[in-house]
A and B are shown apart, each in its own frame.
Chain A
Amino acid sequence: MGEFSRPMPVPTPISQPFWDALAEHTIRIQYSPSAQRYVFYPRILAPGTLADDLEWRQISGAAALYSYTVAHRPVAPHFADAVPHIIAVAQWDEGPRFATEIVNADPAELRVGMRIQPVFVDVPEEGITLLRYEPA
């Protein structure tokens, strides 16, 4: 990895429950009962309404591939070993979208809208579990 190791997420007090859930290989995101919608990324108040009613709910993680690109050049030196790198956006069945990477896939088999499923990637030295996706 050398000088440029992959940038890792650093949880905040507000986002910690999301990362705690990933460590258990489950997915928990916020929900606003007054707005009747799921929210991602984690926030302190509900976007749109600013309602102070966000609560954590577990979701399955089942998603559709909203869009993707195959990076044939590293997007930064930190990702030099990742090419061809499938940088994607998943849309959870509950609505919110999630920036991720697609793994275990041939780029040629990818289609916008295809079903994808979670791949939990533990990074013990960082105390973090990343959430990648693969074709379902």
Chain B
Amino acid sequence: MGLRGEAAIVGYTERAATKRPTGPLESTLEQWARLAAATLADAGLPATEVDGICTGHLQEVGIFAPSTIAEYLGMKVNFAEMVDLGGASAAAMVWRAAAAIELGLCKAVLCVLPGTPLTPFSEKKPPQVNDSLHFGGSSNRYGSPQAEFEIPYGTLGQNGPYARVATLYSATYGYDERAMAKIAADQRVNANHHPGAIFHDVPITVEDVINSPVIVSPLHMLEIVMPVMGGAGVLVTNADLARRSPNRPVWVKGFGERVNCKMVMYAENALQTPMIQAAPSAFSMAGLSPADMDMVSIYDCYTITALLSLEDAGFCEKGAGLKFVAEHDLTFRGDFPMNTAGGQLGYGQAGFAGGMHHVCDASRQIMGRAGATQVTDCNRAFVSGNGGVLAEQTTLVLEGD
């Protein structure tokens, strides 16, 4: 079961993170087009080769997103996929693209996630603003379990639910506030060396993290991603096209996907994340192990997310994650290079494009294009995605030639 490793990421684009849009506002459909063009330019391949697309939601259309994109871009595709897995979408898109390519359905699949939610506005067609703006990933619509059983008590969005997992972790395995803070501090070092990161010019220390305000106990402000404007995409192609690209192909050797629930509190054990299934799937498919990875790009909306993912993906023993973090240098120059472009904690989170940050991070490293943060002789990478509240997770094992 699994991929043969015959599809590759051959180009990527990741917009620099900004607090506000830097130019004229563009619709998410327009952003899609620009990101697609930039991704193809990076791959050195023409738009006419594209015969598959993977997308997430568009703000302008409720349904028929893939066909609207195909029409807008003027592309006729054999694979038109809409992925709705939150922060796990990006890695999910890459494996779906690779699978479609290996099935012979298509030869080049664009996977794009616009990440600038501020779009043009017309008073003649005002945006459908509703209170979901305040409730993050929790739906307050009638009939939604979240609307009826979670939101009324303040269980909504992300901060509180993730913090509760951190509380449970602390009670179960013990806690080391400094080690948790070190996840954010090490990644900030990477961000300080990566252009485009929102915190490129702002170094922090472990003390800075601990001294930042507690937003939802035990999580401090600097353990929580900052929303930014951005957007990202990758092009996945078959081997023939990969050989035509000037970039070193990043072969998709393995993947995993596991969806247990939407809210981790409904899992049998909130500390047993879907990564426990999703990571071994990717490693066994690739015939590789965690120890074979030259770098990892771990979804990090919060420090607790990164911690649990490291444990459940098998990079350390369950419950020993904080010790692992304390004993290893997670920076690009360290013994366990992780989130070498800053992670989302250092780069900023451009909505669901935040998941694509990790795909781009790993691709950049394997292609040897990571500049100041380049990990020496980087050939193999592990990527994780995470959606909901530790509820849906996806993984990739990527390898260079």
Contact = CB atoms under 8 A, between A and B. Distances in A.
Interface of A: 4, 6-12, 15, 40-41, 66-73, 75-79, 82, 85, 87-89, 97-101, 107, 111-113, 130, 132
A69 B167 contact: yes
A75 B154 contact: yes
Contacts of B265: 66-67, 89, 97, 99
A11 B145 CA distance: 10
B149 A66 contact: no
Contacts, number: 113
A89 B164 contact: yes
Interface in B79-137: 131, 134-135
Interface in B135-184: 135, 140, 142-143, 145, 147-157, 159-160, 163-168, 170-172
B145 A41 contact: yes
Contact of B171 (A78, A99, A111): A111
B171 A71 contact: no
A93 B2 CA distance: 42
B154 A101 contact: yes
Nearest to B214: A72
B134 to A, nearest CB: 4
B143 A67 contact: no
B390 to A, nearest CB: 12
User: DSSP majority for the B interface?
Assistant: helix
A9 B152 contact: yes
Contact of A11 (B140, B148, B172, B214): B148
Nearest to A130: B152
A7 B135 CA distance: 10
12 contacts: A6-B152, A7-B140, A10-B147, A41-B148, A69-B167, A69-B216, A70-B217, A75-B156, A75-B157, A79-B154, A97-B265, A112-B172
Interface in B266-282: 266, 270
A43 B322 CA distance: 39
B213 interface: yes
Of A4, A69, A85, A112, the most chain B CB neighbours within 10 A belong to: A69
B152 A69 contact: no
B372 interface: no
B215 interface: yes
A66 B168 contact: yes
Nearest to B158: A75
A101 B150 CA distance: 10
